[in-house]
């Protein structure tokens, strides 16, 4: 029982420190101020501003309740442990293990302090050079992210998918919905490299395949970006699929090309051409917004004299299945030998190491 008391005391200290770091007390005070404003008779005279205020209240309350609820749960467990009732040992042990996992996970979220880290994400995978092997690798990555999302409670919607000629996929774009989806998935954007014995090579030789992962925050309704209709080329086509009743018989899929930048966005999952067009425009705005944000970051980094690598030109992670088993992130040097687990969606340790790496990098610049 003493060891459990010690662990719970440590958890209590950690959670108190994290709550102070996030200024939960200040956010509760902010909730009270906003609630006083919302009680004023003229509050709804400006519906748009009122709606934003109510959304902020809801967001702050959800955050405060989550942290206060966890702190209370730790306090309750500590009080029970201090009773030193041996009949509670098994239940308390399970509770401490669960609480430790929750605190670790929520502690990681404190590293996600970017303006869009809490938002949904749009993730795209593109097969690189290498023909069928690369297209198969792109599909393996698709499965990996779908499994990660499933394990971590995120909802995924496939927006557009292009099948490979023989196997795999040429590309896929998906919406990942849930809190901190964009923040966590930032670790995944870049080039992913696979080394294995090719199942598509009659001589069973070793092949190296590449696929690129792109990511944007899915911040619908929050982007103030003007797009000139004259700068767009909009094409419609018949949505593809696995066959049967789900394949559209009409040209409902939409492809939008932003001529000045060459950015191409496709959407085919909605029921009508109009819905696909609206969703594609939302995604285009998100992509243009992200391009501008990264451009500004690069300019600022150049002024600071920081070393900037070509983001899409370098592989960020290698997955070696032959002659040995290893997955290694080349930015953080974090590596694991259980390749099957990683390809089955166990990515949280890679995300954790990347977030800590990013924070450490910022602190030195």
Closest of 271, 233, 273 to residue 251, by C-alpha: 273
What is the average pLDDT score of the chain? Answer: 85
Q: Does residue 178 come out as left (phi exceeding 0), alpha (psi in the -120 to 50 range) or beta? A: left
65 shares its domain with 133: no
**Claim: this prediction has a pTM higher than 0.75:** no
Tell me what the mean pLDDT of segment 290-319 comes to.
63
234 shares its domain with 299: yes
With bands split at pLDDT 50, 70 and 90, how would you rate the model's confidence at 211?
very high
Report pLDDT for 363.
59
The size of the chain, in residues, is 365
Tell me what the mean pLDDT of segment 40-55 comes to.
90
The last residue of one of the domains, among 61, 77, 109, is: 109
What's the number of domains the chain is made of? 3
Calculate helix-pair angle for 24-38, 2-21, nearest 10 degrees.
50
Closest of 142, 194, 159, 157 to residue 316, by C-alpha: 194
Q: Return the percentage of the chain with pLDDT > 70, whole number.
A: 89
How, if at all, do strands 315-320 and 190-197 pair?
parallel
Report pLDDT for 220.
62
Domain holding 365: CATH number? 3.30.70.1660
C-alpha of 198 from chain center: 30
Domain holding 95: CATH number? 1.20.58.410
Least confident residue range of 51-55, 169-173, 356-360 = 356-360
The last residue of one of the domains, among 306, 322, 356, is: 306
Whether the pLDDT of residue 159 is over 80: the answer is: yes
Domain of 287? 222-306
Tell me what the mean pLDDT of segment 45-55 comes to.
89
Q: E strand or H helix at 342, and its extent?
A: helix 339-343
> pLDDT tens digit string along 176-207?
998 889 999 999 999 999 999 998 887 888 88
DSSP letter string, 75-128: HHHHHHHHHT-GGGHHHHHHHHHHHHHHHHHHHHHTT--STTTTSEEEEEEEE-
211 shares its domain with 165: yes
Residue 214's DSSP bridge partners are 124
The last residue of one of the domains, among 79, 109, 139, is: 109
286 shares its domain with 215: no
**Residue 6: count of CB within 10 angstroms of its CB:** 11
93 shares its domain with 227: no
197 shares its domain with 246: no
In a domain, 312, yes or no: no
Report pLDDT for 2.
81
275 shares its domain with 138: no
> pLDDT tens digit string along 123-148?
999 998 778 999 999 999 999 999 99
209 shares its domain with 343: yes
């Amino acid at each position: 029982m003493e060891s459990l008391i010690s662990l719970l005391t440590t958890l209590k200290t950690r959670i108190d420190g994290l709550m102070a770091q996030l200024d939960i007390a200040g956010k509760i005070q902010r909730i009270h101020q906003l609630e006083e404003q919302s009680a004023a008779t003229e509050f709804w005279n400006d519906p748009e501003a009122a709606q934003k205020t109510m959304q902020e209240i809801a967001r702050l309350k959800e955050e405060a309740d989550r942290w206060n609820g966890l702190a209370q749960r730790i306090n309750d467990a500590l009080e029970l442990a201090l009773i030193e009732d041996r009949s509670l040992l098994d239940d308390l042990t399970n509770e401490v293990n669960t609480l430790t996992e929750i605190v670790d996970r929520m502690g990681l979220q404190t590293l996600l302090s970017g303006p869009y880290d809490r938002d949904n994400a749009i993730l795209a995978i593109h097969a690189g050079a290498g023909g069928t092997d690369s297209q198969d690798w792109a599909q393996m990555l698709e499965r990996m992210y779908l499994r990660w999302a499933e394990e971590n409670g995120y909802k995924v919607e496939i927006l557009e998918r292009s099948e490979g000629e023989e196997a795999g996929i040429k590309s896929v774009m998906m919406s990942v919905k849930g809190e901190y989806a964009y923040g966590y998935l930032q670790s995944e954007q870049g080039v992913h490299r696979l080394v294995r014995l090719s199942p598509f090579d009659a001589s069973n030789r070793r092949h190296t395949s590449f696929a690129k992962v792109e990511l944007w925050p899915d911040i619908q309704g929050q982007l103030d970006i003007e797009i000139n209709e004259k700068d767009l080329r909009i094409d419609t086509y018949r949505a593809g699929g696995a066959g049967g009743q789900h394949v559209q018989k009409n040209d409902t899929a939409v492809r939008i090309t932003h001529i000045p930048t060459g950015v191409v966005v496709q959407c085919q999952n909605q029921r009508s051409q109009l819905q696909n067009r609206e969703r594609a425009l939302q995604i285009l705005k998100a992509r243009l917004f992200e391009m501008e944000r990264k451009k500004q970051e690069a300019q600022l980094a150049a002024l600071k004299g920081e070393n900037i690598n070509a983001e899409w030109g370098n592989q960020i992670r290698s997955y070696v299945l032959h002659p040995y088993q290893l997955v290694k992130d080349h930015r953080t040097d974090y590596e694991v030998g259980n390749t099957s687990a990683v390809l089955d969606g166990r990515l949280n340790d890679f995300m954790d190491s990347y977030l800590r790496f990013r924070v450490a990098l910022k602190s030195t610049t």
